[in-house]
Amino acid sequence: MKAPKSWILEYVDVPDGTTTDELTARLTLTGLKLEAIESAGADISGPLVVGRVLTMEPEPQKNGKTINWCTVDVGDANGTGEPQGIVCGAHNFEPGDLVVTVLPGGVLPGGFEISARKTYGHVSAGMICSARELNLGEDHDGIIVLPEGAGEPGQDARGVLGLDEEVIEFEVNPDRAYALSLRGIAREVAVSVAGASGFADPALRDTPAADDAGYPVRVEDPSGCPVFVARTVSGFDPSAPTPDFIAQRLTASGMRPISLAVDVTNYVMLETGRPIHGYDADKLQGPIVVRRATDGEQLTTLDGTRRTMSVEDLVVTDDSGPIGLGGVMGGESTEISETTTRVLVESAHWDAVSMFRTGRRHKITSEAGKRNERGVDPTICEAAADRVVELLTTYGGATVEPGVTVVGAPPAQPRVSMATDLPARVSGLPIDTDTVVAHLEAVGCGVTVDGATLTATPPPWRPDVTDPHDLVEEVVRLVGYDTIPSVLPPAPGGRGLTRPQQLRRRIGRTLAGAGWVEVVDFPFVGEGDLDALGLEADDPRRTVLRLSNPLSHEAPAMTTTLLPALLRTAGRNVGLGAGSVALFETATVTLPRATEGAPILPVDRRPTDAELDSLLEALPEQPLHLGLVAAGEADPSGWWGEGRPVEWSDAVEAVRQVADALGLELTTRPAALAPWHPGRCAELLLGGTSVGHAGELHPRVCTTFGLPARSVAAEVDLDVLIEHAVHLRQAPTFSTFPAAKEDVALVVDESVAAADVEAALREGAGELLESIRLFDVYRSEQLGEGRKSLAFALRFRAPDRTLTDEDTTSAREAAVALAAERTGASQRA
Amino acid sequence: MSGPNTEYDPVEVTPLQAEQVAEARDAAIAAIEAAADLEALKQVRLEHAGDRSPLALANREIGALPPQARKEAGQRVGQARGAINQAIAARQAVLEAEHEERMLVEETVDVTLPTDRRRRGGRHPITLQSELIADIFVAMGWEIAEGPVVEAEWLNFDALNLGPDHPARTMQDTFWTEPADRHVVLRTQTSPVQARTMLTRTPPIYVACPGRVFRTDEYDATHSPMFHQVEGLVVDEGITMAHLKGSLDHLAAQLFGEGIDTRFRPSYFPFTEPSAEVDVRCFVCRGVDADADACRTCRGEGWIEWGGCGVVNPRVLVACGVDPERYSGFAFGMGIDRSFMFRHNLEDLRPLFEGDVRFSAAFGTEI
Ligand SMILES: [Zn+2]
């Protein structure tokens, strides 16, 4: 809400010398936040001065126009004191008149730069300005002629034109709709600024009594439209200009002057907060009826949009059908035009919820709708209509028609009771009852106190005040939020971070310590991303939760996998010249479930546990995932020699390091899953539970995402790992007897997994086996095509004795025998 | 080795003459002194102190002497051998020291060579900032509560006194999921975690809830469809706005430095009443002589808009099963990204979400 300072101070006095900064600082502290202070003429710069026309010579032109070659006294403003030669196309002035002159170097609204230029055979050194050119109004044909004595030639014209006026922009919270008016802002000044006095309510005026002689109006839905006031004027001059003060104030408040009839309704809306609609009364057909629309009923609104209405919309109708979307936007058929001479003024109070719904349904945001949906004072409908009528008659030459239509009455104000000490108990400030009463009365409440209970009747412009805590806020903000002391609450002994929280930190530190860099991506995904991963048509990761209103149609759903964003981010880094990258991300993914919707539960009580369960069950699963991607070198090249390129095992190992940090050991088995290389993808298992996949990316995926060949990735479910993390690790016991080492080399088919061979060896070796480690994989012609040799180092140790050669030999042989049985392994000679 | 020599021929016992013992000793010591390195010394030791050395041989003869002669000869040979061993040990020490000195010189490397043989990792600065904030609350005895980002509409709005027709719903541009009648949204705030906490626990409640939230804002230098918030909630007996102020002042001081406090301005949030905007004192100029040219961080305001807060609206307590007659509470929320931005002098938030490793790497593992 923008308000010229002088307009505010028309309704309230502040102590002399109160600066704008002081005024706005105080208003900000009591809840009307300063957004900006600007001057009305902020879009005008350079020399704009008062000039006196010395001579003017009309010069007819070939194009039929006549221009005036003028000399203008601009004092010393041009640096010479000589008269300024200016060509002017207007004719509404004569020598001796005071005018507004912009000199070369000046800039007018719209970035229009003024320079001396050759035109119509003269060098025109500046311009004599019209109101339109200065954004002061729209309806002037000629230039501005200042009243005699308005200023001296050469004087800065801004002050004369009110362009030095300070305009204060406030940020108005939804609960303070009354501050969307000068009336409300001035009242706020009166309430909160020390020493302010003399508040004059612009909506307080004597209005003629209602009678039956006015325009016939019937309201069929009084809850939707509790009050409907109609007044009519005739003999209105549609060509009458809007007075400068109205045009200037509208402009300063951010509204564009259009025509007198429209400007007046907007002016009164700014003044009182009450939206007004004007109809061309001659276009009305029969009585006005306010009702809910019938389904599918149509209306073309002022913005030219053909709208189909719902049964919830409130419409203003006449015999022709709907003529306006009540309280939101008028209709085209009865719009005031340049031929309108008879105006019906509607000043109606509308149900805020209906306004809100209609505005959203039709996607209309209007100044009227903004106020109506937040709540307007229902008691000032007659005053506002009367004010419009006054302005139309004063400036538009109109005559008031007899008859004042008033249908309905403002709803009664609710009463709110609270304990007198509630403000003190809520704020922590010692606020006594007298202070409570004084502040509530200051904001307009009627207050009675009965013992320890206070009952307040909020003023009609405060529909937001419904609860005891609303009263508390009014009191405390006027006492001053800045007086609230700072006291730490007495928290009980806390339990610290939960175990999952601690483990998540540990996972992040483990990966960062291992050289991985964490990134944060948006969780949105689209078909294209999933295609880029090469997912099969029936891949469960294609079952996504879609958004109704995505920001991008390329990513309209919540992702089921962290990989698309992670691969894209890695590709971007590579594109930016990072030779090697290793990224990780931990975030939840969204896995939809086929469930009922989430109910909208009551709010006047706690939901039952069953209700709450039905709510929570309706949500998709959102497991926490870890995604990893690495490209380029795992260990960099350097003076020490060649680096090591990343390979599938780096991805698997990173996940294993994470598991290790949680005290868990993962096993692997081959898997074929997009986006991985079908022969280089490991499924990671915790016991029998799959926790994710890791390995080398499919070459096509690398190409698609701009990653170097052989880039690797992993994605695992961290919730499963965290859930099984070892909590209390047991202290180990060690045998102090010597260990016996045995190496075995086993030849197997290429397709046999090393992990299977190792598992068989481990099992076959029995209890004496302390550790086993695969230390070499070897292929040769001698072994034959499709064969490989796996070399394992086995270490045996007994807890209670030194092992004999027979012990270790038989354990080794048992291990080899089982491996042979399970995997067809033969011992290499 | 030193057993009695049974094949001993007493006629040839000349080596036990004093002159000859002295001669052998002197020759040995001269050779020791002349040994240039450890290898040479080893050779000298073999020749002059080994089993076949003259004095070792002489020593064998002693047993064959008449008893009265044995003692004198034994002494003579023993002294000579002692002197030789001493000389060897001394020479050994000298040569070893020389050798070590030479080796250390030879093994000198250029320690200015780069050593980055391992990738450097790093955690995301927002993760670090969230943890830092969580730690401040944990230190106060609070706990950290969490909830899902895809959330029930009722928990994101209705339970927080944002009914279906509440104008404030338009203040938060919500991502809705399909189908709309399932009433599932991307949470627009971390407040549903507060509702979840009140619904599942009994007071006293002291929790902070950091997390990701979503609004349908176009992505630019100051807006992102996803950002991070931290909210706090306290529900206990006798809680007042003074406790709210105290908690936020503490957080501000911990996060931005000693002496940095907060300022409240009246505001409006459906879930709190009374409500306030929180400004934090500019930690650069500290609000002292703030002027627009001097301080870029606060643009001369002296204060930086930080978040919103207030007393939990009793309607919210009722919907979440907390007795408003017995308990009161406060809640607050602020942007983690925003706090990060002004704490670390970041003017454009987009680097937070674009994963350029150069950005995260600049923060390493601690901020
Ligand atoms: Zn500052």
How many residues are there in chain B? 367
Within a domain: B213: yes
Q: Which domain holds residue B51?
A: 18-106
Which ipTM score applies to this complex? 0.85
Query: What is the per-residue pLDDT for A69?
Result: 92
Q: Which two tokens stand for residue A360?
A: 């959203």
Which pLDDT band, with edges at 50, 70 and 90, does A633 fall under? very high
Q: Are A109 and A43 in contact (CB under 8 A)?
A: yes
- What is the CA(B129)–ligand 1 centre distance, in A? 21
Helix axes A433-442, A468-479, angle to 10 degrees: 90
Give the per-residue SS3 of A315-372.
EEEECCEEEEECCCEEECCCCCCCCCCCEEEEEEECCHHHHHHHHHHCCCCCHHHHHH
- Spatial separation of the C-alpha atoms in residues A158 and A164, rounded to whole Å: 5
Checking if the pLDDT of A578 tops 80, the result is: yes
**Residues of chain B with C-beta less than 8 angstroms from the C-beta of A492:** 141, 204, 206
Residues on chain A touching B183 (C-beta within 8 angstroms) = 597-600, 618
Q: Do residues B153 and B184 share a domain?
A: yes
Cβ atoms of residues A33 and B277 within 8 Å: yes
Three-state SS sequence of A269-286: HHHHCCCCEEEEHHHCCC
Collapsing DSSP to helix, strand or coil, B357 comes out as helix
Residue A147 binned pLDDT confidence (cut-offs 50, 70, 90): confident
Q: What is the pLDDT of residue B11?
A: 43
Positive or negative, the CA dihedral A237, A239, A240, A243 is: positive
pLDDT for A559: 98
Residues B207, B301, single domain; the answer is yes
Q: How far apart are the first and last CA of chain A?
A: 92
CA angle A600, A604, A605 (to 5 degrees): 90
Q: Is the pLDDT of residue B13 over 50?
A: no
> Which of A69-73, A79-83, B294-298 is the least confident region?
B294-298
**Is B6 within the bounds of a domain?**
no
Tens digits of per-residue pLDDT, A206-237? 999 999 999 999 999 999 999 999 999 999 99
Residue A138 is predicted with a pLDDT of: 58
* R_g (Cα) of chain A, nearest Å: 41
What b/e readout covers A716-742, taking b as 16+ CB neighbours within 10 angstroms? bbbbbbbebbeeeeeeeeeeeeeebeb
> Rounded to an integer, what distance in angstroms lies between the CA atom of residue A809 and that of residue A817?
12
Residue B325: how many other CB atoms lie within 10 Å: 7
Answer for the pair B300, B290: CB distance below 8 angstroms, yes or no.
yes
Q: How confident is the model at residue B363 (pLDDT cuts 50, 70, 90)?
A: confident
Place of tokens 């990735």: A713
The answer as to whether B7 is a domain residue is no
CB contact under 8 A, A599 and B183: yes
Question: What's the mean pLDDT in A233-251?
Answer: 89
Residue after which a domain boundary falls, among B52, B73, B106: B106
Mean pLDDT, to the nearest integer, of A104-133?
Answer: 87
Are B324 and B254 within one domain?
yes
Regarding the domain delimited by A499-724, which CATH topology (the fold level of the hierarchy) does it fall under? Answer: BirA Bifunctional Protein; domain 2 (3.30.930)
pLDDT tens for each residue of A327-372: 999 999 999 999 999 999 999 999 999 999 999 899 998 899 999 9
Are B153 and A600 within 8 A, CB to CB? yes
Residues of B in contact with A469 (CB under 8 A): 273-274, 311, 313-314
Nearest to A157 by CA among A69, A254, A74: A74
Of A427, A498, A636, the CB nearest to B117: A636
Alpha carbon of residue A768 to chain centroid = 66
- Nearest chain A residue to B238 by CA distance is A425
Interatomic CA distance for residues A293 and A48, integer angstroms? 54
pTM metric for this prediction: 0.84
- Quick: pLDDT tens for A250-299: 888 888 888 999 999 999 999 999 999 999 999 999 999 999 999 999 99
Q: Is residue B142 part of a domain?
A: yes
Q: What is the mean pLDDT of chain A?
A: 93
- Answer whether B240 touches A (CB < 8 Å): yes
pLDDT score, position B293: 66
What's the CATH number for A417-482? 3.30.56.10
Separation of CA B264 and ligand 1 centre (Å): 17
Asked if residue A148 has pLDDT above 90, the reply is no
Are residues B39 and B180 part of one domain? no
User: A426 and B131: CB-CB below 8 Å?
Assistant: no
Q: Report pLDDT digits (tens) over A395-446.
A: 999 999 999 999 999 999 899 999 999 999 999 999 999 999 999 999 999 9
Measured over the CA atoms of residue A432, residue A438, residue A441 and residue A442, the dihedral's sign is negative
In a domain, B299, yes or no: yes
Distance B265 CA to ligand 1 centre (A): 18
Quick check: B120 and A515 CB within 8 A? yes
Confidence of residue B164 (pLDDT cuts 50, 70, 90): confident
Q: Which residue type does A41 have?
A: G
Q: Does the pLDDT of residue A630 top 50, yes or no?
A: yes
CB-based contact (8 Å) between B259 and chain A?
no
Angle value at C-alpha B122, between B117 and B124, nearest 5 degrees? 160
Does B67 contact chain A (CB < 8 Å)?
A: no
Q: How many structural domains is chain B composed of?
A: 2
Boundary of a domain, candidates B75, B106, B137: B106
Q: A217-408 in CATH: which number?
A: 3.50.40.10
A767 and A743 Cβ atoms separated by less than 8 Å: no
B346: CA distance to ligand 1 center in Å?
A: 15
| CA distances from residue B164 to A318, A745, B157, B274 in whole angstroms, order as listed | 32, 72, 8, 22
Q: What are phi and psi of A633, to 5 degrees?
A: -95, 135
For A608, phi then psi, to 5°, come to -70, 165
A394-A400-A402 Cα angle (round to 5): 160
Asked if residue A139 has pLDDT above 70, the reply is no
Residues B150 and B91 in one domain: no
Q: Are residues B73 and B144 in the same domain?
A: no
Q: Across the interface, which of B116, B245, B352 has its CB nearest the CB of A636?
A: B116
- Is pLDDT of A14 > 70? yes
Q: Do B265 and B170 reside in the same domain of the chain? A: yes
Q: Are both A2-40+166-192 and A417-482 of the same fold?
A: yes
Residues A757-771 have pLDDT tens digits of 999 999 999 999 999
Instruction: Look up the CATH number of the domain holding residue B175.
Output: 3.30.930.10
Interface-testing mutation among A516, A518, A617, A707, with chain B (most B C-beta atoms within 10 A): A518
Task: Select from B110, B157, B177 the residue whose CB has the most chain A CBs within 10 Å, as the one to mutate to test that interface.
Answer: B177
What tens digit of pLDDT does each residue of A37-63 get?
Answer: 887 777 888 899 999 999 999 988 888
B149 interfacial to chain A (CB closer than 8 Å): yes
Give me ligand 1 centre to Cα B252, in Å. 15
pLDDT tens across A454-491, in order?
999 999 999 999 999 999 999 999 999 999 999 999 88
The pLDDT score that the predictor gives to residue B163 is: 85
Q: Could you tell me if B312 lies within 8 Å of chain A, comparing CB atoms? A: no
**Does B132 lie in the same domain as B99?**
no
- CATH classification of A48-161 is 3.40.720.10, yes or no? no
User: pLDDT digits over A501-550, tens only?
Assistant: 999 999 999 999 999 999 999 999 999 999 999 999 999 999 999 999 99
Cα(B196)–Cα(B193) distance, rounded to whole angstroms?
5
Taking residues A664-690, what's their average pLDDT? 95
Chain B residue numbers with beta carbons less than 8 Å from the beta carbon of A608 are none
Handedness of CA A460, A463, A465, A466 (dihedral sign): positive
Residue B4 predicted with pLDDT over 80: no
Using a pLDDT cut of 70, give the percent of chain B over it.
93
More confident of the two residues A729 and A459: A459
- B240 interaction partners in chain A (CB closer than 8 Å): 425-428, 487
Which residue did the predictor score with more confidence, B60 or B188? B188
Residue B114 resides in a domain: no
- DSSP assignments along A157-222, one per residue: HHHHHTTT-EEEEEE--GGGGGGSSHHHHHHHHHHHSTT-B----TT----PPP-SSS--EEES-T
User: How far from A530 is each of A505, A542, A546, A734, B295, CA to CA, in Å?
Assistant: 30, 7, 14, 51, 47
pLDDT band at A201 (very low <50, low <70, confident <90, very high): very high
Is 3.30.70.380 the CATH classification of the domain at A740-827?
Answer: yes
Q: Which amino acid appears at position A360 of this protein?
A: R
CATH class assigned to A2-40+166-192: alpha beta
**The pLDDT of residue A524:** 97
Q: Which of A34, A171, A363, A426 to mutate to test the interface with B (most CBs of B within 10 A)?
A: A426
